[in-house]
Amino acid sequence: MLRQFIRRFAGFSLLPLLLLAACRPDTSETNTTPAAETAAGPQQLRDDLGRTLTVPAQPRRIMALAASMTEMLFAVADTATIVARTQVCDYPAAALRKPVVNSYPLDLERLVALRPDVVFTTTGITSEADAQRLQELGIPVYYQQYETVEDIFRGLTDLGRILNRQPQARQLVDSLRRELQAVEALPKAAAAPSVLAITWTDPIYVYGQNTLFTDKIRLAGGQNAVQEKFAQPYPALTREYILKMNPDILLGGSFGKLDSTFFRLYPELKRIKAYQTRRIYAPTDDLMSRPGPRVIESVKELRELVR
């Protein structure tokens, strides 16, 4: 469980997110200026945190500080322009051939030595203080945030604009949309089962209502058992709260593993429907925790678990 938590922390960090409000500023304005329209000068961008930054018209050296965004770069960018990965970036296999920059704590000296034109990251991975330090050193940092699958499509499209790879991004997003439409067309249960997804067991942290999981499980035919919207996207829940919630399905580990750990620690939770019907499953960790181009693969896996 500790290893899984560390991987989640690196791919889509949770504990720092507990300290951040999961709100994204209004993005009704265009987030990026297409590189094709700025050949004579740099791009003036606004990221998902509402921060303004300047990026070369054609970035030649790029990297990401989140494993999820490294996957996005390998899916959209010219991979020759990706100069590094973090210590936890392990997909796709080509990423393993890139130099490593530690993301926590941030190896600032190593990152600066690689001279990236722009660094991409997500909230909870890179502190705004570190981003400010990098920008003072001439390295712009671009944040993305995702609460829905549509946000990921938007993020991929924005990367295409920033990197002057619009055709590649468009082709990828169109393909993902077709896959999603095929999933949505499949038969679903008359009543969507309630699904509680835990990320840590002591205390019990879960995927809250204001997380990407809520949209993914909806598309898969279920619903997040956490209906209340907490200030923190990954709230800690009491045993009493979970008993009252009484989820139909529990995600976070196999029945055998959780029976010998989680339910041994909290034996009263054996009264929930998920335990009584043995509907306790272990989804693929990276698919659950990394918002990226494999998001529809994650939706498909969730559908197999909830149908």
194-306: what fold?
Rossmann fold (3.40.50)
Handedness of CA 291, 293, 298, 303 (dihedral sign): positive
Instruction: Give the end-to-end CA distance of the chain in Å, rounded to a whole number.
Output: 26
pLDDT at 36: 41
Map out the domains of the chain as residue ranges: 36-182, 194-306
Q: Which amino acid, one-letter code, is at 112?
A: V
- The residue written with tokens 């951040």 in the block is 20
Count of alpha carbons within 13 angstroms of residue 219, beta-carbon side: 23
Tokens of 104: 């926590």
Q: What is the DSSP string of 64-108?
A: ESSHHHHHHHHHHS-GGGB--B-TT---SGGGGGS-B--BTTB-H
Per-residue pLDDT in tens (0 to 9) along the chain, 307 residues: 434 443 443 443 433 333 333 344 444 334 444 444 445 589 999 999 999 999 999 999 999 999 999 999 999 999 999 999 999 999 999 999 999 999 989 999 999 999 999 999 998 889 999 999 999 999 999 999 999 999 999 999 999 999 999 999 999 999 999 999 999 999 988 899 999 999 999 999 999 999 999 999 999 999 999 999 999 999 999 999 999 999 999 999 999 999 999 999 999 999 999 999 999 999 999 999 999 999 999 999 999 999 8
Dist. CA 247–CA 223, nearest whole Å: 10
What pLDDT shows up at residue 124? 81
Per the CB < 8 A criterion, the answer to whether 221 and 188 are in contact is yes
Position 189 scores a pLDDT of: 84
Tell me the CB-side half-sphere exposure of residue 105, using CA atoms within 13 A: 3
Cis bond leading into 193, ω under 30°? no
Contact criterion met (CB below 8 Å) for 153 and 272:
no
Answer yes or no: are the C-beta atoms of 30 and 158 closer than 8 Å. no
Residue 120, C-beta contacts closer than 8 angstroms, at least 6 positions apart: 62, 63, 64, 65, 66, 69, 72, 73, 141, 142, 144, 159
Structurally, at CATH architecture level, domain 36-182 sits in: 3-Layer(aba) Sandwich (3.40)
Cis peptide bond prior to 203, omega within 30° of 0 = yes
What's the predicted TM-score (pTM) here? 0.85
pLDDT value for 123: 86
Residue 198: per-residue pLDDT: 97
pLDDT at 4: 45
Q: Encoding tokens for residue 144?
A: 């993305």
CA separation for the pair 238, 250 (Å, rounded):
15
- To the nearest 10°, report the CA torsion of 282, 288, 293, 295: 80
Q: Same CATH topology for 36-182 and 194-306?
A: yes
The dihedral region occupied by 125, where left means phi > 0, alpha psi between -120 and 50, and beta the remainder, is: alpha
Beta-sheet pairing, 141-144 with 62-64: unpaired
